[in-house]
Amino acid sequence: MSADIVIVGAAETDEVGRLPNHSVFQLHLESARNALADAGLTKDDIDGVATVGTPGPVQVAHALGVTPAWLDGTSVGGTSFLFHVRHAVAAIRAGMCHTVLITHGESGRSRIGAARPPFGPDSIIGQFEMPYGIMGPATMFTLTALRYMKETGLTHEQLASVAVAQRRWSSRTPRAAMRDLVTVEDVLASRLVAYPFHLLECCLVTDGGGALIVTSRERAEALGTRRPPVYVLGSGESAESPIISQMEDFTTSRSFRLSSQAAFAEAKITHDDVDHLMIYDAFAHVPIYGLEDMGFVGRGEAGAFIEEGHTSPGGRLPMNTNGGGLSYTHTGMYGMFAMQESIRQLRGEAAAQVPGVELGVVLGNGGMFMSAATLVLANRRP
């Protein structure tokens, strides 16, 4: 019988949005401090640190005065922080460490203290994608959509309805960057960024951060943490192609499928058990792939499912209830914020709280369908 692993601290930076006076490093440290305060712990309670490559776990640990017994620098795109949770669960169960701090900070909009993309003209992407005028994720992540539309019949209106549904949630979320309700017509009238994607079908670009603290239930009880624990019931991870053009099938994500299958199996849950869902939404088509690849709906059904309001307030599968990357915030590596909203919902403290949430699922995407991780979280013991 494996030990129960719980998230006992979860917090974002004081503000998210446009923060020109915060460096990436400062955003990490502010979110770490806030998560420690949320848990009622101090830095001396932490013996494991995980974060992505820049600034990396060594610098975060050093700055906080933590002496780590365990480090994880897994850096596989915006879902990396879900990988860190999964890896922390395994490390704590294995006795490698007892309490792990996971931090995210990114100056996606203001670019203060931010790393530059490391891709040179002799990298794989530099040789086989950059010569064709790619211009960030808006020209790569989006490339799969027309193929999906041709094969499934997804309409432009249904794609736009993803943004409409998420505004219904963000309109109830004071911290969200974009809170005005929009219609399908508004979305389709916003300027084209990369056909078939309009501006309102593309994520925001913001500054912010968040952090989590993961430990065993036993230790949380011994430490007397302040907050209701959120149990990690299951997790899964996988990866596919480092460049979008080599994704096996443009209509389905293999790593969405595999990571969610693993997480559901470990947690021993079915789709009917899921009260609340977060699917990383860098662009409007990603939740459509997520709903199908995780098995919540059949192939080609997700567009109509969202259009009919089933993921909107009052719907049977509340999804992306902070407004998501499209309307809440998107620093570049959004996975941390998807987990934060899932935890808020499970604690009953979300701005747009769904009644009676006991079990939530988070699907994180990394890169452009490059990697994925899924977490099954609950506010009750397994």
Partner 1 sequence: MSTDQPAKPAPRSTPETQPFWDGTAAGELRVQRCRACSRHYFYPRPICPHCGAADVEWVTTTGRATLYSYVINHRPAPGFAGDGPYAIAVVELEEGVRMMTNIVNTEITPENLRLDMPLRVVFEPRGDVRVPLFEPVPEPAGGNAR
At its nearest, how many Å lie between partner 1 and the CB of residue 147? 4
Beta-strand pair 207-216/99-107: antiparallel
Which residue, 140 or 162, has its beta carbon nearer to partner 1? 140
Using CB under 8 A as the binding rule, the residues of this chain from 216 to 245 that contact partner 1 are 243-245
Which residue, 65 or 128, has its beta carbon nearer to partner 1? 128
Q: Is 8 in the site for partner 1 (CB under 8 A)?
A: no
Starting at the edge strand that comes first in sequence, how are the strands of the sheet with 5-12 ordered?
70-72, 48-50, 99-107, 207-216, 5-12, 230-239, 371-378, 359-366, 276-279
For residue 182, is it left (φ>0), alpha (ψ between -120 and 50) or beta? Answer: beta
At its nearest, how many Å lie between partner 1 and the CB of residue 200? 14
For residues 236, 240, 242, 244, the Cα torsion angle rounded to the nearest 10 degrees is -120
3-class SS string, 69-119? CEEECCCCCCCHHHHHHHHHHHHHHCCCCCEEEEEEEEECCCCCCCCCCCC
Q: Is 194 in the site for partner 1 (CB under 8 A)?
A: yes
d(CA 141, CA 137): 5
Which residue, 63 or 138, has its beta carbon nearer to partner 1? 138
Positive/negative CA dihedral, 82, 336, 322, 217: positive
Q: Is 120 in the site for partner 1 (CB under 8 A)?
A: yes
Question: Of 95, 117, 133, 356, which lies in the binding site for partner 1, with binding defined by CB under 8 A?
Answer: 133
Binding part of the chain for partner 1, among 86-94, 116-124, 160-168, 290-298 by CB under 8 A, reads 116-124
At its nearest, how many Å lie between partner 1 and the CB of residue 142? 5
Which residue, 241 or 353, has its beta carbon nearer to partner 1? 241
d(CA 230, CA 136): 35
Question: Of 116, 117, 118, 122, which lies in the binding site for partner 1, with binding defined by CB under 8 A?
Answer: 122
Q: Is 189 in the site for partner 1 (CB under 8 A)?
A: no
Distances (CA, A) of 180 to 165, 337, 379: 12, 20, 31
Question: Of 193, 239, 262, 346, which lies in the binding site for partner 1, with binding defined by CB under 8 A?
Answer: 193
Collapsing DSSP states into helix, strand and coil, what is residue 368?
coil
At its nearest, how many Å lie between partner 1 and the CB of residue 247? 9
Question: Of 95, 174, 191, 314, which lies in the binding site for partner 1, with binding defined by CB under 8 A?
Answer: 191
d(CA 347, CA 379): 7
Which among 316, 307, 277 is positioned nearest to 293, based on CA atoms? 277
Q: Are 167 and 182 in contact (CB under 8 A)?
A: yes
Site string for partner 1, 37-76 (x = CB under 8 A): ----------------------------------------
At its nearest, how many Å lie between partner 1 and the CB of residue 331? 20
Using CB under 8 A as the binding rule, the residues of this chain from 138 to 177 that contact partner 1 are 138-140, 142-147, 150
Q: Is 131 in the site for partner 1 (CB under 8 A)?
A: yes
Look at the block and give the residue holding tokens 């432009």: 156
Question: Of 116, 132, 224, 356, which lies in the binding site for partner 1, with binding defined by CB under 8 A?
Answer: 132
Element of type H or E holding 162: helix 156-170
At its nearest, how many Å lie between partner 1 and the CB of residue 367? 15
DSSP state of 202: B
Total binding residues toward partner 1, as defined by CB under 8 A: 36
Using CB under 8 A as the binding rule, the residues of this chain from 245 to 264 that contact partner 1 are 245-246, 250
Q: Are 144 and 63 in contact (CB under 8 A)?
A: no
Residues that bind partner 1 (CB under 8 A): 120-122, 124, 126-135, 138-140, 142-147, 150, 191-197, 243-246, 250
